[in-house]
Structure 1
Amino acid sequence: MSTTTAPDAGVVRPKDRLEVLFEELGELMGQRNAIDGRIVDIVAEMDHDRLWGITGCRSLSALVAWKTGSSTRNAEKIAAIAHRATQFPLCMAGLREGRLSIDQVGIIAEKAGQGSDAHYVTLAEVATVSQLNTALKQEPPLPPEPDPWRDTEPEPQPEPERPPSLTKAGSDDQYTYWKLGLSHLDAATFDAALQSHLDAAIAQWRRDHDDEALPAEHRPPFPTHGQAFMSLVQSGADAEAARRPHGHHTTIVAHLDVKDQIAHLHLGPLMSDADRQYLTCDATCEVWFERDGQPIGAGRTTRTISRRLRRALEYRHPTCAVPGCAATRGLHAHHIRHWEDGGPTELENLVLLCPYHHRAHHRGAITITGPADNLTVTDSHGHTLSPGSLARPPNRPPPDVPPYRGPIGERADWWWYTPFEPKPQSNN
């Protein structure tokens, strides 16, 4: 008599277990998408009212990465969605209801043209992020649209510093013409370096060709500013001053009235308080002190940081000292107590700042106080900036949304896909 062993009723088959896990995963992803939708709404409100500008952050995405602990890429997606939320109400509704993910809506907000909300929300219901990216590549390029969040009159903000500009103005049969735009401080540095190379070229010309016995028509042309500029380019504008020809000529000369605290460049314009403090923070600069228009003495010719002191600063804190800024390249050494106020060029009085936050501090957008090992950084409203994110254990129940279904997972046949075509702009 044969017997058949009955299967154990308590054993769960792998297929059934996988279905249970998929169901829980879909529920959690739906809640996560809804939470991401609320995060986007919060970021959009900060962008709409320009609240992020008072924190000293260089961009909205930098603030999101700092306060949420997100990667730079995820922060950029959140900021892009918040920036264009009003242009994509259907996609935003899908995100808030848990039907679309932050990655799906993010790539649409970054690349889709205005008026394509209805087109892409239908596609996003079934397409993966990779398929959405392929569809967006087929969309014709559109001119940049005005920012919908900037319709309201913003609060007065300090005018951002314009970077140096270099543009090609045109060319002819013999020459190519360039147009150079520099701030007053950059122009002073450029003028000093150019004059240094011009002096060196003139001295060399006189040594080699200033011969009275040689007819003038047989002498090479006298050095010009154009030749000095090419010499500057060839030697490298970023070389250390001591390694340049006539290096002492590259020092920027400034005149400071000790009574009225007014400074101006030598034979140049007046400097603002921010430019004056920035220039004397970590630069080669000869300062002449004056009283009632009469020179009374010269200060130290440099406040530059030695190589050994620079290495100590980088070892102590390798990133920008402003909380939320992770910049590690091109950092400036900043005097916590300004050099013109008697601050020493010592490790205890120095921190590293990125160029953006260094300028922002001297313009008054952020404040840096305290000893170097225990800095206090405050925004323009006096609020202390902390380095940590805002993440904490939740005290609210998760959003009540249906599970996330996700893409259907089928291969896309692009021959039947109709790309989005923007409506032609009306001249009315």
Structure 2
Amino acid sequence: MPFPAPSPLAENVPRRLDVLLEELAELGGQRNAIDGRVVEIAAEMERDELCGATGARSVTALVAWKLAASSANAHTITTVARRLKEFPRCAQGMREGRLSLDQVGVIAARGGEGSDEHYAELAAVATVNQLRTAVKLEPRPEPEPEREAEPDLRPSITRTSDDEGSCWRIKLPHHDAAKFDAALDSHRDALFAEWKSDHGDDEDALEIRPPLPTTGEAFMRLVEAGWDVEAARRPHGQHTTVVVHVDVEQRAAALHLGPALTEAERQYLTCDATCEVWFERDGEPIGAGRTTRQINRRLRRALEHRHRTCAVPGCGATRGLHAHHIVHWEDGGPTEMANLVLLCPYHHRLHHRGGITITGPADDLRVADSHGRLLSPGSLARPPTQPPPAVPPCLGPTGERAQWWWYQPFQPQPPPIHAGQA
């Protein structure tokens, strides 16, 4: 029986695969060399504290932003950068295209001091997972005996949720628990009194009247009562409002019954919606700040709907945001959408200290660093204009299964003993 002739495509599979693998090895070496240079740049920014001029909170955040990289990849880059001097051979392997960022990242994350030569030799033939196992086998110093921890008496709340609802677990010290029990009992008694007043003791209505109030309903009444009190007390209640006295002629400010403020602190506090301002002239009060400065709930929700993160490019914070006046309130800036943006507390303080500048209007916001350079919301990636690094192809690990019974883990050396300590 004659068999069909093999397809020409099938005959070319080995040759095509070799060509693709050769190109993959060449690209891998170039990528490793590029990652090596990226690590050096990150180390220079970390050493000279250059990231503060950009508005980024850390080198990790700056690398993730500008390279459009994941936070995990940016963390690996900065981990290697911070230990670059401790692992010169591994770093040289990256620059030459022989070792990958992931390989050196595993070593830099947990490798012991003085282990550079050991792991540089092992990384030439080991995969990332094998390096991770090797680092785990490295003996660690004996931990100091832990003292018996004192019990944590602070209140704590944990929450778990499912399709049916949420379960809250509250842990309180005894004195706080007694206060909570008393409040809960008070609201439960109030609910029961209201229920009894509405429905009475009519036995004929037993089948139609609602059931007795539960402890859960009493708890929700306690929450609602606290919420109503807070809503009525904000924003001018003494527990939530910072009072600032401002001299209208000298532009000097001080906290109520407190110290004087710097210009940056004065602008930051008077920009914050929870601050009450009293104007003075020659030490005498002449009036209070305009109530229109306050950011009401509807305006706050409109700001969050327009842009739910911090307005500084590369930040991405979504919690605890402040409503910031682009044209400052004390300079006559209106409290309206076109003059308001949301900033995280870090960048809000940084702006008032002069670290970054923010100009508007809000729909055409321009954020610049301390040197006047605009901060772009996009990454720095662009088409390359230089040739790729001239490094040999990366052949990668051998791919063999590790036999850990013969492996000798790195042994940390004890610190040298000086003559005076002998």
Cα RMSD after superposing both structures: 3.5
User: 2:113 maps to what in 1?
Assistant: 114
Report the residue type matching 2:34 in the other structure.
I
Instruction: Select the residue among 265, 276, 289 that pairs with 2:279.
Output: 289
TM-score by length of 1: 0.72
Question: What displacement does 1:14 show?
Answer: 2.6
User: 2:38 maps to what in 1?
Assistant: 39
User: 2:350 maps to what in 1?
Assistant: 360
Report the residue type matching 2:73 in the other structure.
N
1:29-75 CA distance string (max 9 Å, x none): 11111111122222223333332221121101111122222112111
User: 1:253 maps to what in 2?
Assistant: 243
1:336-380 CA distance string (max 9 Å, x none): 111222222211111111221111111111111121011111111
- Does 1:376 pair with 2:375? no
Question: What displacement does 1:245 show?
Answer: 10
User: 2:191 maps to what in 1?
Assistant: none
1:209-220 residue pairs with structure 2 within 5 A? none
SS at match of 2:349: helix
1:155-192 CA distance string (max 9 Å, x none): xxxxxxxxxxxxxxx989xx979xxxxxxxxxxxxxxx
Residue pair 1:282, 1:303 contacting (<8 A) in 2 also: no
Identity of aligned residues (%): 63
Question: What displacement does 1:286 show?
Answer: 2.1
1:12-411 residue pairs with structure 2 within 5 A? 12-140=11-139, 241-242=230-231, 248-250=237-239, 251-300=241-290, 303-411=293-401
Residue pair 2:273, 2:323 contacting (<8 A) in 1 also: no
- Compare CA radii of gyration and give the structure with the larger one: 2
SS at match of 1:248: coil
Residue pair 2:244, 2:256 contacting (<8 A) in 1 also: yes
Residue pair 1:285, 1:302 contacting (<8 A) in 2 also: no
Distance of 1:316 and 1:53 partners within structure 2? 27
Distance of 2:141 and 2:249 partners within structure 1? 57
Residue pair 2:245, 2:256 contacting (<8 A) in 1 also: yes
SS at match of 2:363: coil
Residue pair 2:51, 2:57 contacting (<8 A) in 1 also: no
- How many residues end up aligned between the 2 structures? 346
Change (3 A) 1:82 1:265: same
Question: What displacement does 1:7 show?
Answer: 6.2
Distance of 2:271 and 2:234 partners within structure 1? 25
Distance of 1:15 and 1:332 partners within structure 2? 62
Report the residue type matching 2:231 in the other structure.
A
SS at match of 1:249: coil
Residue pair 1:103, 1:129 contacting (<8 A) in 2 also: yes
Q: Which moved more, 1:366-375 or 1:386-395?
A: 386-395
5+ long unaligned stretches in structure 2: 143-148, 155-221
5+ long unaligned stretches in structure 1: 144-169, 178-233
1:118-157 CA distance string (max 9 Å, x none): 11111211222122222223335579xxxxxxxxxxxxxx
Question: What displacement does 1:406 show?
Answer: 1.3
- Does 1:420 pair with 2:375? no
TM-score by length of 2: 0.73
Change (3 A) 1:131 1:235: farther
Distance of 1:307 and 1:64 partners within structure 2? 36
Question: What displacement does 1:25 show?
Answer: 0.9
Distance of 2:361 and 2:129 partners within structure 1? 50
Distance of 1:246 and 1:10 partners within structure 2? 76
Residue pair 2:236, 2:276 contacting (<8 A) in 1 also: no
User: 1:214 maps to what in 2?
Assistant: none
Question: What displacement does 1:4 show?
Answer: 9.4
Residue pair 2:33, 2:391 contacting (<8 A) in 1 also: yes
SS at match of 1:85: coil
Distance of 1:67 and 1:283 partners within structure 2? 32
Distance of 2:4 and 2:409 partners within structure 1? 60
